[in-house]
Each structure stands twice: as C-alpha cells, then as structure tokens.
Amino acid sequence: MTRKPSAPPEEQALHLERFLPYRLNVVGTLGGRALGRIYGERFGIGIPEWRVVAQLGEFGKLTSRDIGELAQMHKTKVSRAVGELEKRGLVSRAENRQDRRESFVALTPAGKRIYDQIVPLALGFEARWIDGIAPDELKVFERVLSTLTERGRHLAGNYREEDGA
C-alpha cells in the first residue's frame, strides 16, 4: 500500500520527525554510535572495524567486496577497516587464486578472540535495546523491517525520480 499525498505538492512539507527514511537512519546511527563507543573503549576499534570483525566472525573467509555488500559499507571504508585490522594482527589476507585482483580476508586467532568477546556484548546490547517490547510486537517489527530492507534494496538499485517517492 502506497501513501498518496493529500495536499497539492506546493502545500506539502517534509517533516523529518515523521519521515521514515530519516527516522530509520536516526535509529541506526544511535545504535551504531552506542555500540561503537562500547567497542572503542573495550577493543580500540571503530564502527567499520567491528562490522568487518562481525562479518568475518559470522561468515568466515570473505573478500572485501563481500564484506561491503553484507555490511552495506563503501569499498574505501572496508579497505581502511581491513587495513587497520591487519596492522593490529586481527585479520589476515590470502590471495584469491581465481581472481587475483582481490584477496580473501579472515580473522586471525587474535581477531577470533575479539569476535568471541563481541558476541555477548552485542547480544546484551540488543536485549537492553528491546527490553519492554512485547514478543508479538517484535515479531511484527521484524517482519516489517525485513519488508523495508528488501524494498530498500530494490529501490536502491532501481529508483528513478519520475517513479515518485
């Protein structure tokens, strides 16, 4: 179901506090900032670095392109994060023999130890964030969030201004 504007375009106003893309961005930024502070204080890593560690911890060996797609991060951010983690001995790179333009990135044993510490912190943070929300509400929220994510992927790849907002 698509919302149609009720007022003529010249009378419409954009109220950011009610604009869904803005609100989702604010929620994501607040969550990322809180997690970034936790990981920064405890492990000395920033948001891009912990996203890389989380992706590698979950999926194992990945290319930088894979990490970028999974984490929705620009390739330069992924490259910097991987470089910083490699300097600290938390990830290693191995040549991709099928495509020598890219390499595989994996957690080192030190990186795996950090990942193992991040998991309970992340899950604890999530539990605190959703505390007080009823399970049936969370189920609906998860379904809606999945739908919005899928539609966002589609729009990100196919949106044209003449299609409308």
Q: Tell me the per-residue pLDDT of 20-51, one tens digit each, with 9 for 90 and over.
A: 999 999 999 999 899 989 999 999 999 999 99
With respect to residue 8, please indicate whether it lies within any of the assigned structural domains: no
For range 48-61, the mean pLDDT: 95
Residue 103: give the domain boundaries: 19-125
With respect to residue 144, please indicate whether it lies within any of the assigned structural domains: no
Tens of pLDDT, residue by residue over 73-114, are 999 999 999 999 999 999 999 987 777 778 899 999 999 999
Split into its structural domains, the chain has a count of 1
Question: What CATH number did the domain enclosing 94 receive?
Answer: 1.10.10.10
With respect to residue 117, please indicate whether it lies within any of the assigned structural domains: yes
Instruction: Give the length of the chain.
Output: 165
Comparing 11 with 128, the larger pLDDT belongs to 128
Beta-strand runs (E) in 39-159 = 62-63, 91-95, 103-107
CA gap 27, 39 in Å, rounded: 18
With respect to residue 27, please indicate whether it lies within any of the assigned structural domains: yes
With respect to residue 163, please indicate whether it lies within any of the assigned structural domains: no
